[in-house]
Structure 1
Amino acid sequence: MTVVLEQDEKVIEINGGNVVYEILGEEGDFIALTPGGRFSKDIPGLRPLAEELVKGGYRVLLWDRPNCGKSDVQFYGYSESHMRAETLHQLITQLGIGPCILAGGSGGARDSMLTTMLYPEIVTKLVVWNIVGGVYGSFVLGSYYVVPSILAVRGAGMKAVARIDEWKERIAENPANEARILAQDADEFLKLMLRWLNAFVPKPGQTIPGVEDEMFDNIKVPTLIIRGGENDLDHPKRTSLEVSCLIKGSTLIDPPWPEDAWERAGEDRASGKAKRFNMFDTWVQAAPAILDFLGK
């Protein structure tokens, strides 16, 4: 079985795995737009933002990162974000659209910042929001995205890993992922998951998970930071302020959505009103501020 692509979707092979992407817009500078979590480019709320950026005169690259959406699962790297940064670098390079603007929220903010740190030559401007940090935010990510795989592989090997809801979703969207998961050596997979988990353990000198603060010195491009909500434990206001101090010359603005948007979305999900954290629905509200910043 093969993955079913929509009309505008394309596939490119990077580091031995297929990456699904699409480009919106016909002319203008490119913006590589990245969502958070292990959500795909089709997570509700992302495309409306992309479409507003296109209306503002840009072309937008949407992509399913490894382990997201229809792309192939991949397992390598110091952390999952390091793997995605390498993939984004190769994607931009192979498509010939760099240097370009990087923009992303939540995990996509971390991926975008790390890409800029590691491959500054492919980035012209950087826009990030909902930056994850702090003890709670980091521990939640590790426990949600990594610990279940560790427990499964230790208990019953890779067959058990393939039965985890997270990976079952990847298999449902891309059936080839089942064979890719089962082909992993259980011992090596466990080592990798422990390394990925370690990246989410808060450490002195790491404002964002798994990234040394000194790496921020590599970000020299104009940067817009939309700070986290006042009481958002997943994307703390404090983390945004610290990142703004670490990126010299960066611009920090208040969120254009309500300060409690993430908390209210979480309540909706807990009550069964939403299948996902639909806080992404508010991201389109950032379009005017992003376009204003990019136009300067």
Structure 2
Amino acid sequence: MADLASLPKDWIRTSGQFTRKAYNSVYPAIDPTQAGSSLKDQVVVVTGASRGIGALGIAPTFVKAGVKAIVLIATSAAKLATVEEELKKINPAVETLALSVDISSADQVAKGWAEINARYQKVQILVNNAGIETTDSDKTHELDPDVFFRNFEVNVKGTHMMTQQFLIAAMPWATTTDPAKLINMSSSSAWGVWPFLAAYSNSKASMIHYTATVAASYPGTVLAIAINPGLNDTEILPAVLWDVGFNCNDPALTGATLVWLVADPARSRFLNGRVLTVEWDVDELVARKEEIVSKNLLTMQLNATLGVDQFKD
């Protein structure tokens, strides 16, 4: 692995570019206040909503896009109350429901969804944003198994349990024209090799394939997309990366990209089951739609040529 300190400050963004244009903040095509990004009358559930990207980027942007209601989930009730106050400043009419839930607990997740379902007959969008990073060494033999798998308890198991409850509630109404919309947070570390992020990156790699599996399980009735939010100056940012001083994104960039993806499922359906980075230009992605689909790009695959046909003369 290269010496991080020797790399350009924009290396995180430029090394992972898939589109010619790339952004660190909200740009006109994904402006959440434009008509094409309207989420009027829709209900969204956001996990990890008490801090970081959830509180600073995702929740505020969904409110700006006009959601009817937003359900905020995190472990800290006090922090969620503060987020609620900020969202009401954006739109006093938005309905909010703050639930203190540890998503790694099956009982708490079930109770949380019972409360959500009691209030809302239809939740159109789930954003699985909650996550932790607890890697305690860059050497495999030194990794504490309990610390290592705590990442999977939250980032994978928690995401699965939230998704499962969301889909159970959505199955009665989800159709190909009105699909249930699911966003799972991943990371560029999922496809890189970062020993100092071993636990985190492995859990986030799981999210990419998990998202593809969900999309394949419900052809057309579920829109499932994995997201890399890029580097953000939040509490989860490892000290190693913070110390290097790489350029960080505005958390609103993630929020606005998610709104663009779920506002018009027909527009973004070609990304179903795939992973993308919020820094990429959405207009360029749409322009490359045929290429992305025909070559099955933006998916996690074994880097090899497989199949018996390759051995035929």
Same fold (TM over 0.5): no
| TM-score (normalised: structure 1) | 0.40
TM-score, normalized by length of structure 2?
A: 0.38
Larger RCO, structures 1/2 (Cα 8 Å, 6+ apart):
2
- Structure with bigger gyration radius: 2
